[in-house]
Structure 1
Amino acid sequence: MTHDDLTTINDIIKSTRFATVTTRTSNGDLVSRPLAVLSHEFDGTVWFFTQDPSPKTADISFDEHVNVTYIDGQNTVSLAGTATVSRDQARIDEFWNPFAESWFEGGREDPSVALLQVAATSIEYWDIDKPAIARAFEIVKGLITRSAPDVGENRTIQL
């Protein structure tokens, strides 16, 4: 992963308030849930507050493979990785915020407070760098010339 890739990924993640985390249930269904983004520099791992036990943590105990998607309006980061549930109090204290407080009746000492830690194994991102009118022109041009429209950058990175 290049420095430019990391900068783009961080910019997209930081511009979102929620990510969608997709898990697999024990019967094989995929379930997606919105989780609040915890602000920090992406370093290959992302974190979310979660309640444990919960259906989400039960899914992860069955299959640790997850997908996390961030969308900031036009740009997207899709992160595949493995999830674990952490009760590391130092990390909980590091990420604790008033929004988290509203989800846990007993505050940060609530026995159900946990963190969902996702270690990325691959990332795909779409960085749309053109205004809507330019994107529309590129799409029409692509239809006419039978070539892919140039609306921004799409990269896949294996970690």
Structure 2
Amino acid sequence: MSIENLQNKEAIEKLKEMINPIDIGMLCTHTTGSKHVHAVPMSTQEVDEDGNIWFLFSSESDTHRNLLLDKSICLLYSDPGNFQFLSIHANTEILRDQERINQYWNKMVQSWFDKEKEDPGILLLKVVPAEAHYWDTKSNKLVTFFKMIASGITGEEMDTARSGELKI
């Protein structure tokens, strides 16, 4: 496996490239009175030009209660079918911006909430990555598959994967 660390714009582009097709990330918050994290699937609304990741969520959720006590999170994306994995440690900001909520709101999003988009309990979560690590393949799935088969047959190690830090 080769290492490919990326910085600034390249790191943000890699973040977008990996997150956009996956969409659903597992957002892990810290809980009080337990050593375990609270993990929930969240639909990504946007990765902005600065590399911030945006979500809509409810003020009535366990996630919100946890974030009021500790704003640091871990966000995990996984696409095993394409051998793509992403781990992000981040800080968060909780916001209420009706214009941005309107921008993200659609029928699919509405199905997750019992309320309308104007409800003050609909919040934005801005995830600001502090550090990120990714794992993926160097080529498309088919080429990677054949390289893995060839490696298994010949015993020769083929460099089919890469990983690296994303410094945003």
TM-score range, shorter chain: 0.7 to 0.9
Residue-pair matches, total: 153
Unaligned runs of 5+ in 2: 1-6
Measure, in 2, the Cα distance between the counterparts of 1:138 and 1:48. 41
TM-fit CA distance, 1:40: 4.2
Relative contact order: is structure 1 or structure 2 higher (C-alpha 8 Å, sep ≥ 6)? Answer: 2
TM-fit CA distance, 1:77: 1.8
Unaligned runs of 5+ in 1: 143-148
TM-score of the superposed pair, with normalisation by structure 2? 0.79
Corresponding residue of 2:4: none
The 3 A distance-change label for structure 1 pair 37 and 90 is same
Runs of 4+ in 1 over 6 A off after TM superposition: none
Corresponding residue of 1:132: 145
Give identity over the alignment, percent.
22
Measure, in 2, the Cα distance between the counterparts of 1:138 and 1:32. 37
Letter in 1 for 2:147: A
Q: Any conservation in 2 of the 1:23–1:65 contact (CA below 8 Å)?
A: yes
Corresponding residue of 2:54: 47
Residues 1:118 and 2:127 aligned together: yes
TM-fit CA distance, 1:56: 0.5
Measure, in 1, the Cα distance between the counterparts of 2:148 and 2:10. 22
Measure, in 2, the Cα distance between the counterparts of 1:151 and 1:43. 30
Measure, in 1, the Cα distance between the counterparts of 2:107 and 2:50. 24
Deviations 1:33-71 (A, max 9, x none): 101121444522111111102110111111111011122
Superposition pairs for residues 68-87 of structure 1, below 5 Å? 68-72=75-79, 73=81, 74-87=83-96
Letter in 1 for 2:106: N
Indicate the RMSD between aligned Cα atoms, in angstroms: 2.1
TM-fit CA distance, 1:83: 1.6
Q: Any conservation in 2 of the 1:104–1:110 contact (CA below 8 Å)?
A: no
TM-fit CA distance, 1:136: 4.8
Deviations 1:19-45 (A, max 9, x none): 110111012321211011214445221
TM-score of the superposed pair, with normalisation by structure 1? 0.83
